[in-house]
Structures are given as structure tokens and as C-alpha cells.
Amino acid sequence: MPKNLKTGEGKTSEQSGSAAVRETVEEVLAEVRERGDVAVREYSERFDKWSPDDFLLSRKQIEEIIATVPDQVIEDIKTVQARVRDFAQRQRDSLHDFEAEVEPGVFLGQKNIPVASVGAYVPGGRYPLLASAHMTVVTAKVAGVSRVTACTPPIRGEIPAATVAALHLAGADEIRLLGGTQAIAAMALGTETIGRVDMIAGPGNAFVAEAKRQLFGTVGIDLFAGPTEVLIVADHAADPFIVAVDLLSQAEHGPDSPAVLITTSEDLAREVMAHIEEILPGMPTCDFAETSWREYGEVILVEDLDEAYALADDYAFEHVQILTEYPREALEKMGDYGALFLGEATCVSYGDKVIGTNHTLPTKKAARYTGGLWVGKFIKTVTYQEVTSQEASAELGELLGRAARVELFEGHARSGDVRAAKYAGKSFDWLGDRYAG
């Protein structure tokens, strides 16, 4: 049986479902539906104290903003985006259209069609998550999305220059300095000056997450996002200092980000906890990381790695890091996770920022039924059918008649009857002699 060496004192955050958040979002959405641009501007002034002449950045403004970004930052953005683009292209290349003659004269096919327009949201706040521009905009563009509208908020009244650069270099067709629920509402519903989109993607705070939830159906969304999660499976071979550093690297995301260690070694577990206590006071992000660790951190001792993998699957966390002697075992023994990070040379933060895989991943056990954001999220896989043989159509028509009448769908049945009658001379009372002879 697993033994808890440390249990979090807090409970899973449900901020996005709280009454206050829900009611605020409902109000904003209703006002934007009713009053369009006027409401968007009012809420931008209220929440962000931001009301420029135009939220949309012109090409000239974008160029001027990018000119303020250090050359090394621009080069790093290009390097990371090249990696994200390469991986997304490999995903795109794995999706194939096909057509098959499944029976003589019966052709069935599949096509992969990109969503026409996407709204990409890149949050600001404490952390200007410009990496989200790479993950959302680059991936959508590789999928073939023709129009990507991007929104990012000002940060304390200042333009987030590096984020604007990342959005532009990623290929965003429109960039607006607009944040929060009002940005999500404007993109999803459309206003006098902002064209509505077919899908919203990108992370955000509780209000953004709730807006996406309420608008799902009106538009598509990428994922319902919750607090960042990290789980490390470690055995005796792991370096306890690295385990401690990697746990805290994700705990700094927010005060409610769970960080869990499952290990077969009690000595390692004790050392990890001691290292965390040493590291935390000196972390610039200690306020978030310490609260997260105290309230949501867990350390669990198990008998063997099979038990560890089974327990990790039960958690179904967003990020799962495998720091064991033979890390690739997890590929065979685990199935419920957002992304796996295998071995000491691989850390979750690589996935967050630089390695090329997408960092938008399922949280709150959603990994049981979905993966994360990938090029396929921006693609509609559709089907088509063509019957070129009258003999085959007649046979299908007779089958349809029988199958549909079992379900009491007489209209459906008659669509089959007319083809069986016209192509094969079959008779049906309701048709009389329409196709006789």
C-alpha cells in the first residue's frame, strides 16, 4: 500500500467554477453580445485600465515594438518557434486523406480540413507567457488555419514587447492589445471591428477559463485548463536535488499547482523534502512555489515501480516526469498523462518553453480521455461518400429500408426504397407503379 510521507493541506482549486467568477463572466459576455465594441472598451478600461485609440496593432506599430526587443530574445524566439513548427509539421504529416472503394461501386473517403479562423489568447499578468504564442499560433498555422486573431493584455499599462514579437513571428494575422474575458468574448462573438472566430485557444486565469467554458458550443475551444500539475516518478537512481528543483519549477506557476513525488526510495523522499526546504527561501517566486508546495505538494512511498506507474495513472496529471534507472518503461506501463518526460536529462520546463512539443496539456484528470493541444485540434476530419454503381445502390437501398423501419424512421427507409425500385425494379406499396417497368 502507498505510504504518504507528505500530504497537501489544501483542496483542488475550483476558482473557474465559483459563483463570483461565473457571474462576472456572464455579465461581460451578455454586454459584449449586446453592445459590441463599446462594452469591450468599457471592460478593458475597468479591468486593465487600457483604452487606446485602437486595440489592433498596425504593421508599423508591430515593427516599432519588435525593434525594442533585444536581438538575443528575437533569436531565441525564432529558435523555439522553429522547433515547435517542426514538431507540429511532423504531426500534420501523420494525418492522411484517403479514399477507398470498399465494395464495387461504393467509395468512402476522409479529408482533413483546417478550421478557418482561430482566436489565440496569450495571458499577461505576473507571467507574460510568450511561449503560449509559439504553442498556439505556430501550431494553428501549420494546421493551415487561414486567419489567426491574437489577443494579449497590456502588463501594468505597458506593451508586452516580447509577446508581440512572438505573436508576429509565429504568424498571427491580427494582434490586439486586449485581455481577459472581454478579449475572449470579442473574438468568440465578434464586434463591429473584431471578426468572430471559429475556435478559441490558449491559457488564462480563472475568468478566461470560465469564459471559454461558457462559450464552448458557440465556438470550439482547445482544452478546459486548470492549475499546472507535475508528478515525478523516481527510484533509488534519481538525484534528489534535481527532483526537488524540478518539483519547484512547476510549483511556481501558481499557489494551487499540485507537485507530487511518487518514489520507491524512502531515503530519496526524505532528501528531496529537505532540499525543498533549503531551496524555497531563495526562490524569487517563493510566494507561489511555497504556497503550492505546502498546500498541494505530496510525497508518496510505494513498494515498486509497477505500483508507482499505476498510482501515477490514477492521478492522470498534466506533466509526468520519469526519473528512474530505466525511464522508457513508462511508455509501456502508463497510459493516463498529458506528456511524459523521460530521464534526468529531460525536464518538464523544456516542454514548457523550448523543446518543441506543445505545452497546452490536459489537467484535472482530463488526461484519462484527451491529449493536449496539437495540430489535429485545429483540423476537422470529415468524410464523404459516393456510390457509382446502381446495383450497389439498390442493395444499400433494400438494407436501408429494413434497418430504418426497425427504428421507425419511415422517411429514411423511403430514401432507400426509391433507389431499390429505380435501379433494381423492386416494388413498394407506397410507391405504387412510379418505377414499374
**Catalytic amino acids?**
318-319
| Separation of alpha carbons 123 and 313, rounded Å | 30
Strand ranges inside 50-131, DSSP E: 98-103, 106-114, 117-121
Tell me, letter by letter, the H, E, C secondary structure of 217-258.
Answer: CCEEECCCCCCCCEEEEECCCCCHHHHHHHHHHHHCCCCCCC
Distance CA 55, CA 178 (A): 6
Q: Report the distance separating Cα 232 and Cα 230, nearest Å.
A: 7
Residues 6+ apart with CB under 8 A from 328: 342
Instruction: Give the Cβ contact number of residue 422 at 10 Å.
Output: 16
Q: What CA–CA distance (Å, rounded) separates 41 from 429?
A: 65
H or E segment and range at residue 385: strand 379-387
Percent helix, percent strand, percent coil in the chain, to nearest 5:
50, 15, 35
Q: Which of 40, 82, 287, 251 is nearest to 166 (CA)?
A: 82
d(CA 354, CA 175): 23
Cell 487561414 found at:
146
Q: Between the CA of residue 341 and those of 139, 241, 332, what are the distances in Å?
A: 21, 17, 14
Nearest to 237 by CA among 217, 210, 264, 219: 264
